[in-house]
Amino acid sequence: RYEYDRFGQMTAVHREEGISLYRHYDNRGRLTSVKDAQGRETRYEYNAAGDLTAVITPDGNRSETQYDAWGKAVSTTQGGLTRSMEYDAAGRVISLTNENGSHSDFSYDALDRLVQQGGFDGRTQRYHYDLTGKLTQSEDEGLITLWHYDASDRITHRTVNGDPAEQWQYDEHGWLTTLSHTSEGHRVSVHYGYDDKGRLTGERQTVENPETGELLWHHETGHAYNEQGLANRVTPDSLPPVEWLTYGSGYLAGMKLGGTPLLEFTRDRLHRETVRSFGSMAGSNAAYKLTSTYTPAGQLQSQHLNSLVYDRDYGWSDNGDLVRISGPRQT
């Protein structure tokens, strides 16, 4: 269920699990805070131009962004670490400095396509395009890769320094059916099958002798879906199927192998894992149960297995960084 103010802005979301979120705005219609039913609040700040300048999470962690006169972000700071950007007259990023002080530079052509990049590691990469804008050649420290396409602009194969590297094949729907490459003198391929909705139903991996076509090895995997269209079953070749048990919009409730329960999950109203049961057919007869708790900010606070050897407690800084993991054997 949704609630709106007189300006049509969403002010509340009430989910079927009984969870609610409340949204507040300033007199200019900008989102200023989001608060849940437990009082955990995320706040937002803006400059005079309406740019988002700060996000403050429920644990007090603050992320800040600064902008230039044209409204482009020039730096972001979080946890005391800053990343900065520089732009050219066309508004394109030409320099990026990461949190460690390393630089990456970018160059473009008249059509705004990236033609050269200097990486943080000092490597230089160059890119070339055809008249329709497709990437046809890339250069990276002496490696020259050529890209080839069909009449539908789908990539069909690529070469590296003149040697075949990969090939792609498609069906009449345009769906990828085969991806292959050569490795140690053998043709290694993956073949894909689909249902009428375009969902993957089968995957076949093969290794062949490229000269004789002799099949040296193969492995097949089948895929199935539930009524919601979510993948819920994988059947590897000559092995029992693996099933995923889900609820709601796809939250994982358990797993089975060949009909035998492997894992079962208990979750709270926010769908966070609170108990994981496994071993000895799982369920009520599970040999092990891992219990998890969380801080008010949603961070993992502790994990306790019904064996003291594996108990763990987690400590966090005011910036939201993990600073401590403690248990019976280590701190």
Cα 150 to Cα 204: distance, rounded to the nearest angstrom: 24
Cα 286 to Cα 15: distance, rounded to the nearest angstrom: 32
Q: What is the pLDDT of residue 92?
A: 97
21 close to 34: Cβ distance less than 8 angstroms: yes
Structure tokens at 231: 């993948």
Band (124; pLDDT cuts 50, 70, 90): very high
| Cβ count within 10 A of residue 117 | 16
285 versus 241: the higher-pLDDT residue is 241
pLDDT at 322 over 60: yes
* 3-class secondary-structure state, position 32: strand
Q: How many CA atoms lie within 13 A of 161 on its CB side?
A: 4
Report the DSSP beta bridge partners of residue 180: 167, 189
Could you write out the DSSP letters of every residue in 35-62? EETT--EEEEEE-TT--EEEEE-TT--E
| Residue 171 Cα to chain centre, angstroms | 28
Band (327; pLDDT cuts 50, 70, 90): confident
pLDDT at 329 over 80: no
Q: What is the pLDDT of residue 288?
A: 86
Q: What is the pLDDT of residues 70-105, one digit of tens each?
A: 999 999 999 889 999 999 999 999 999 999 999 999
Question: CA distances (Å), 264 to each of 61, 70, 257, 289, in order?
Answer: 34, 52, 12, 10
Q: What is the pLDDT of residues 185-238, one digit of tens each?
A: 899 999 999 999 999 999 999 999 988 989 999 999 999 999 889 999 999 998
**Is the pTM higher than 0.85?**
no
| Torsion angle defined by CA atoms of residues 246, 252, 254 and 257, in that order, rounded to the nearest 10 degrees | 80
Give the contacts of 323 (CB within 8 A, at least 6 positions apart): 315, 316, 317
The helix (H) or strand (E) run that includes residue 128 is strand 124-129
| Cβ count within 10 A of residue 82 | 15
Amino acid at 52: L
